Homo-oligomer: A and B are copies of this chain.
Amino acid sequence: MKNPVTRDTHSRSIAKAESWGKETPSAVLWFTGLSGSGKSTIAQYVFGYLAKGGFRVESLDGDSIRDIFPNTGFTRSEREAHIQRVGFLASRLERNGVFVVASLVSPYEASRQFVRRLCSNFIEIYVATPLEECERRDVKGLYAKARRGEIQHFTGIDDPYEPPVNPELTLDTTKTNVEDAGNAILALLQNRLEGAT
């Protein structure tokens, strides 16, 4: 698959963006999916591309933010509050011309819709890697713990994942590699921003 985003067209967007100051078009790229689905890996690829391209871009990773606020729990209401707060942060960065690459399990449709409403250019990327594959990988050993009952409220095991109703993009990492997935997102982003100008 050919990279749909060439350096040249990308550079044009950058130059335009910088000349716009506060009105810079930006966007929130919101990665949702099960633990181990590959969200963060693709998000990092996209983040790296935007950062190297000279864009202002911030990475918001659900787990890292939980490390800063360790009292955030995993009940439905605590998860909802967490998603909404990260979404608010994302929206405030976005409206100041900063791209946001957010990677959170964010399992509830209503919470994601809440964030969508806060943002101008909300691009929801559903990393739809099947549960069986996520559990087979089990990079952090969390599925095994959840199966043994050592952790509760684990999405996909004893807590629901509500698939996005109308995501901008759906990816399955058993069928796409990181580079192709990342480039598809960048192409989508470019189309969206050109449409917004």
Contact = CB atoms under 8 A, between A and B. Distances in A.
B56 A96 contact: yes
A95 B77 CA distance: 30
Interface residues of A, number: 23
Contact of A97 (B56, B68, B92): B56
A88 interface: yes
26 contacts: A18-B21, A21-B54, A22-B54, A22-B56, A56-B96, A56-B97, A58-B95, A58-B96, A60-B92, A65-B88, A68-B84, A68-B88, A69-B81, A69-B84, A69-B85, A71-B77, A85-B85, A88-B89, A89-B89, A89-B92, A92-B93, A93-B93, A93-B96, A93-B98, A96-B96, A98-B98
